[in-house]
């Protein structure tokens, strides 16, 4: 299976539906006060680069890279459609984000994700890729509903 990951402008209704699916999923497992997923307008911010993953012409997933400062990027909006789970889509998107972060000269990637069984696969993906848990960063506040990860991009 070949997965094509590309930068996306969020203009298609199909991509917008995937973002809505992502937001609905976050709200299904996390109280509203704990959901930090970005809606379409947030993903279109100049500091955010949004990616989509495609398998044989079908939209399979997405993710984004948000510039926090000159050295740090934040991973946002990682989502794999149910029909493509456990087929490498999340890994392909994460790889594309990490490559872009490295090309930009970032030395650190961070992310905030949910907690609980619904997020176990995401946690496993990040740990498998060398991310370690860390404290809250930026404007986030630690709670029972989130987990923070970081990864150094320097050798």
C-alpha 53/C-alpha 82 separation (Å) is 13
- For the stretch 104-153, pLDDT in tens is 999 999 999 999 999 999 999 999 999 999 999 999 999 999 999 999 99
The structural domains of the chain, with segments of one domain joined by +, span: 3-110
User: Closest Cα to residue 64, out of 20, 9, 119?
Assistant: 9
Strand 72-80 to 108-114 pairing: parallel
From residue 24, alpha-carbon distances to 36, 44, 85, 98 in Å are 12, 19, 17, 26
- CATH, domain 3-110, list 3.40.630.30, 3.40.605.10, 3.40.50.1360, 3.40.640.10: 3.40.630.30
Q: Residue 17: which pLDDT band, with cuts at 50, 70 and 90?
A: very high
């Amino acid at each position: 299976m070949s997965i094509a990951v590309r930068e996306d402008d969020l203009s298609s209704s199909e991509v917008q539906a995937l973002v809505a699916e992502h937001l609905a999923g976050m709200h299904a497992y996390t109280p509203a006060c704990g959901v930090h997923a970005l809606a379409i307008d947030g993903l279109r911010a100049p500091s955010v680069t949004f990616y989509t993953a495609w398998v044989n012409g079908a939209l399979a997933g997405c993710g984004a890279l948000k510039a926090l400062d000159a050295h740090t990027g934040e991973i946002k909006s990682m989502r794999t459609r149910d029909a493509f789970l456990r087929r490498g889509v999340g890994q392909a998107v994460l790889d594309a984000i990490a490559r872009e972060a490295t090309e930009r000269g970032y030395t650190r990637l961070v992310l905030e994700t949910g907690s609980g069984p619904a997020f176990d696969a995401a946690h496993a993906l990040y740990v498998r890729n060398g991310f370690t848990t860390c404290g809250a960063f930026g404007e986030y506040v630690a709670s029972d509903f989130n987990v923070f990860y970081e990864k150094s991009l320097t050798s």
